[in-house]
A and B are shown apart, each in its own frame.
Chain A
Amino acid sequence: MIALIIVSHCHDIAEGVCRLAGEMTQTPVPIAGVGGIVDENGQRQIGTDATAVLEAIESCWRPAGVLILVDLGSAILSAETALELLPDEQRERCLISNAPLVEGAVVAALEASLGHSLEDVNRAAEAVRNLDKVLR
């Protein structure tokens, strides 16, 4: 089974998306949220930390691969930076998804729980971009 990493600027969003996606599957899926940064006063701030993304990938590591879902801006740059810092053989089994964060994570968790491959899980998660929420 692959693992999922949720990267957001906001700690609560990352944790919340993990919780939501985790509720959707019967088989538990390895999933970790990385969000926000901690400033010099120990306060949580909006932002992203590439070294925290790297640690999450390492702690959730699965040989089948790791799919990384991101919100926007520096979350993407931090995820890319984390991949650059990984050894080559691990980097090759990681993928940053173009999927929307919340809907993509729910679909990715379901697909991952069924044991689908990294590429297939990502394809399903990215396909969510084209789904209408309201029919008009």
Chain B
Amino acid sequence: MSQDITLAQFRRWLSLFAEQVQEQVDLLTELDAAIGDADHGANMQRGMRKVQERLQDPTATGGDIGSLFRSIAMTLISTVGGAAGPLFGAFFLRAAKDVDGTDAVSLEQLAAMFRSGLEGVQQRGKAQIEEKTMIDALQPAVEALEAAVAEGLDAAAALDRALEAARRGMLHTAELQASKGRASYLGPRSIGHQDPGATSAFYLIQSAAAALGRQAQAEES
């Protein structure tokens, strides 16, 4: 049986996610300039700076995973400004419901949190797979994670599967026509461009794989 994933690792995940988004701000802006209104990079950067600030203050983010997620959700919905705020906010708000008062979760519980988070995003954005949105990276990742758990893989292997599924999903958005959000106004002209929201969602999964799959690293840092 794999070891539980700890609150410290969840904090590390969010910190890595914030770092990753900020490193890739120019790419996110460029992707959004092609099919949107070029604000996704700046919006996410503004939100992630605030997330990092919050993470510096342990009292502001609570002593359990549910409180941590709720705090991050509120930060994102009040600072991002664009659709990504309520959408990532919905992910963390829904995922938080499963882990109130908990400071460590099993891999099975993690998969359930991801499923709840995905459902939150789907419900808020009313998007399905293949509509060129965050869902195209998130849903394959969640499905891969669930399948890996069913196979009995450990956290590192399971999250690597999720990461690869998210990467494929993100890259696949370039082939899709947008039917949600600002990009949908472009119709067929949205084809050929990778979706910025799916790219941010990929960073969420990539940072999860780095922080939640490898306990030793998380403890050292």
Residues of A within 8 A of B (CB): 37, 39-40, 45-52, 73-74, 77-78, 80-81, 84
Contact = CB atoms under 8 A, between A and B. Distances in A.
Contacts of A45: 46, 81
Nearest to B50: A40
Given A77-B124, A77-B125, A81-B90, A50 B78 contact: yes
Contacts of B43: 47
A74 B46 contact: no
B46 A40 contact: yes
Contact of B83 (A39, A40, A73): A73
Interface of B: 39, 43, 46, 49-50, 74, 77-83, 85-87, 89-90, 93, 124-125, 181-182
A74 B78 contact: no
Given A40-B50, A74-B82, A77-B85, 4 more contacts: A50-B78, A73-B182, A80-B86, A84-B93
Tell me which of B81, B89, B182 has the highest count of chain A C-beta atoms within 10 A of its own C-beta. Answer: B81
B124 A81 contact: yes
Contact of B85 (A39, A46, A74, A84): A74
Contacts of B125: 77
A51 to B, nearest CB: 4
A14 to B, nearest CB: 14
Contacts of A47: 39, 43, 80-82, 85
A46 B81 CA distance: 7
A50 B86 contact: yes
Contact of A81 (B50, B89, B181): B89
B48 to A, nearest CB: 11
A50 B85 contact: yes
Nearest to A36: B81
Contacts of A46: 39, 81
A132 B87 CA distance: 35
Nearest to B76: A50
B86 A74 contact: yes
A80 B79 CA distance: 16
